[in-house]
């Protein structure tokens, strides 16, 4: 029986034990001989690995487990690499959220200026990871990437490492489908959806169950309740706390204005930015919620396990772990299963640029994702996507060229920022906060005059 060697880059993530449980429940589909945990923070990772080992021991004692900070050890002969890096950890996420909010601008980790800041931190480490994998892993190795902000990371990889075997994924569409299926009283796997857009910036245009269009039914429900069941216990634990409940409720407001398609929940930051800022606690953001919730619980659970030998039922299977394992099984077994992932457009949506990294339905086989043809999209959605796409593409140019002007252009184009004046103020504060992470951004102009080198 063929077995696989898997490396998890960002092994110190709070999501790691949940992913491990998902892998263990699919061992018949994806038999593993080794799991290597790789992180630049070895101390943090070692604590998470304690929990991961405990989960693995419930299923098998035949998997070699490696805990390392050395890329050669982590990636040599690997078949798959899961990437889930959080550059700067939650300390920097908190600044990504609170600095924009101090200027009355959306503060969010992947959208708006916080997402642009996170992108500027993540691009270089992602490229470094690709280079390590290409140096040490098998030539057939796939990197399955969860690292955020996924849309910006995908664009950077497309431009800087165009031949890399990277499959960029996000679990937000899957989580949205989970809510849809709960509302409709069916299994998520029964849904057949069509979708177009960029990551965290797209729309569901079809929701079918056994060939029957259920989108009208969902519209009616969302108009009353948002994208929530009346019993919120059916929501995945990762999306069940207060901020996520508010997010799914806000889909009602968006669809009251634009009822044609069901929006990705993250579109609230672009279509309702004033409401988001008005209802945000500038002193206690989502980062604080996570640090005092999921992260705190993880390390308390590890400590309890070390003291008692009993692992609490904290690491259950959610859509985050299920989805990354699903796409990996389809890659490994050449199954051609249909999932929403990110790919280079190349005519999939003819009225968007070929080099846009779009999120669309794809068939996942051993050679990677094969996108389904979407066709032209209506002008309203195209115009919004063009603006967001330009912001993300110019940001990647800013980091590759070390250009302050291009960073400011990227911030100014982002729909969450109301003016270039505000964009500059937010950018300058984020530059100060990210000195340890961003490359130096230099200006070509002083007082409106070109500086000659």
Q: Which residues are catalytic?
A: 171, 266
- φ, ψ of residue 219 in degrees (nearest 5): -55, -45
Contact 368, 142 (CB under 8 A): yes
Contact 52, 17 (CB under 8 A): yes
Neighbours of 152 (CB within 10 A): 29
- φ, ψ of residue 4 in degrees (nearest 5): -125, 150
Q: Which residue has the tokens 């992180």?
A: 39
CA distance 102 to 82: 35
- φ, ψ of residue 78 in degrees (nearest 5): -70, 145
CA distance 398 to 31: 42
Burial readout 331-370 (b: 16 or more C-beta within 10 A, e: otherwise): bbeebeeebbbbbbbeebbeebeeebbbbbbbebeeeebe
Find the radius of gyration of the CA atoms of the chain: 21
DSSP string, 191-241: EEEEEEEETTEEEEEEEEETTEE-HHHHHHHHHHH-S--SSGGGS-GGG-S
């Amino acid at each position: 029986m063929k077995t696989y060697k898997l490396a998890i880059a960002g092994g110190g993530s709070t999501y790691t034990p949940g992913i491990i449980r998902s892998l263990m429940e699919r061992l018949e589909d994806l038999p593993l001989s080794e799991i290597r945990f790789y992180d630049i923070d070895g101390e943090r990772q070692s604590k998470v690995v304690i929990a991961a080992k405990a989960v693995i021991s419930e299923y098998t004692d035949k998997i070699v487990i490696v805990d390392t900070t050395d890329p050669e050890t982590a990636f040599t002969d690997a078949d798959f690499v899961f990437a889930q890096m959080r550059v700067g950890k939650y300390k920097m996420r908190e600044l990504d959220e609170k600095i924009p909010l101090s200027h009355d601008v959306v503060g969010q980790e992947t959208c708006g200026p916080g997402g642009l800041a996170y992108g500027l931190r993540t691009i270089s480490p992602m490229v470094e990871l690709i280079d390590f994998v290409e140096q040490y892993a098998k030539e057939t190795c796939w990197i399955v990437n969860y690292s955020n902000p996924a849309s910006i990371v995908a664009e950077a990889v497309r431009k800087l490492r165009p031949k890399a075997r990277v499959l960029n994924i996000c679990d937000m569409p899957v989580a949205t489908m989970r809510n849809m299926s709960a509302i409709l009283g069916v299994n998520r796997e029964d849904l057949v959806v069509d979708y177009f857009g960029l990551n965290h910036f797209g729309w569901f245009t079809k929701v079918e169950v056994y060939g029957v269009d259920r989108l009208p039914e969902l519209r009616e429900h969302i108009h009353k309740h948002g994208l929530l069941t009346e019993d919120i216990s059916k929501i995945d634990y990762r999306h069940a706390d207060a901020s996520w409940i508010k997010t799914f409720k806000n889909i009602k407001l968006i669809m009251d204005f634009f009822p044609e398609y069901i929006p990705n929940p993250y579109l609230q930051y672009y279509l309702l930015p004033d409401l988001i800022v008005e209802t945000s606690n500038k002193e206690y953001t989502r980062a604080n919620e996570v640090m005092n919730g999921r992260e705190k619980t993880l390390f308390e659970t590890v400590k309890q396990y070390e003291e008692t030998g009993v692992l609490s039922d904290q690491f259950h299977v959610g859509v985050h772990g299920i989805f990354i394992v699903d796409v990996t099984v389809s890659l490994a077994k050449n199954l051609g299963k249909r999932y929403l992932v990110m790919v280079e457009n190349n005519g999939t949506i003819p009225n968007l640029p070929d080099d846009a990294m779009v999120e669309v339905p794809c068939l996942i086989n051993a050679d990677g994702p094969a996108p389904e043809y979407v066709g032209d999209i209506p002008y309203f959605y195209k115009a919004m996507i063009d603006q967001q796409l330009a912001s993300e593409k110019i940001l990647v140019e800013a980091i590759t060229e070390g250009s302050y002007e291009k960073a400011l252009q990227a911030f100014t184009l982002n729909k969450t920022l109301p003016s270039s004046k505000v964009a500059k103020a937010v950018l300058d504060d984020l530059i100060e906060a990210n000195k340890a992470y961003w490359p130096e951004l230099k200006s070509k102009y002083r007082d409106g005059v070109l500086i000659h080198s």
